[in-house]
C-alpha cells in the first residue's frame, strides 16, 4: 500500500518480481536469456490476471506493477480493511490458479 501525494489517494499494488528480488538496475544487467524468460513469464501472468473477473483492479503493464486499486482518502479504516480483505482473497485465488498451471 502506498499513499500517493499527487493524487491524494491510497493505492494497493500487485507486483510481479524476480525471486530473489533484484533492482531494475541489476535486472537490466542480467543476460538476455534471463530477461527474456522473465518478460515472457510476466506477460503470461499479466494476460492470465487480465482475463479474470477483477473487481476494482486496474491492469497496468509496467516492469514490476501488474495491477492497482485506488482508494479515496475519505475511506474509513473499517471500509478499507474490508475492501483489502476481499481484494486479497480474490487475487490470492487467481495467483493460486496461475501457480497450479505451472507447478
Q: Where are the domains of the chain?
A: 2-101
The Cα 46–Cα 40 span in angstroms is: 10
Query: 103 pLDDT exceeds 80?
Result: no
Query: 28 pLDDT exceeds 80?
Result: yes
For residues 4 and 46, the model is more confident at 46
70-92 residue pLDDT tens: 998 888 999 999 999 999 999 99
Q: Is the dihedral of CA 46, 47, 52, 53 positive or negative?
A: positive
Q: CA separation (Å) from 50 to 11, 23, 28, 58, 80?
A: 19, 25, 26, 9, 23
Angle at 33 between CA 31 and CA 36, to 5 degrees: 110
Q: What's the whole-number mean pLDDT along residues 51-73?
A: 89
Amino acid at each position: 500500500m502506498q499513499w500517493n501525494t499527487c493524487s491524494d489517494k491510497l493505492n494497493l499494488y500487485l507486483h510481479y518480481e524476480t525471486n530473489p528480488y533484484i533492482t531494475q538496475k541489476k535486472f537490466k544487467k542480467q543476460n538476455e536469456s534471463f530477461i527474456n524468460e522473465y518478460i515472457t513469464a510476466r506477460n503470461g501472468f499479466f494476460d492470465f490476471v487480465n482475463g479474470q473477473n477483477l473487481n476494482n483492479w486496474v491492469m497496468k503493464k509496467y516492469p514490476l506493477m501488474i495491477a492497482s486499486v485506488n482508494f479515496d482518502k475519505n475511506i474509513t479504516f473499517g471500509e478499507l480493511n474490508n475492501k483489502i480483505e476481499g481484494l486479497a482473497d480474490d487475487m490470492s485465488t487467481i495467483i493460486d490458479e496461475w501457480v497450479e498451471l505451472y507447478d
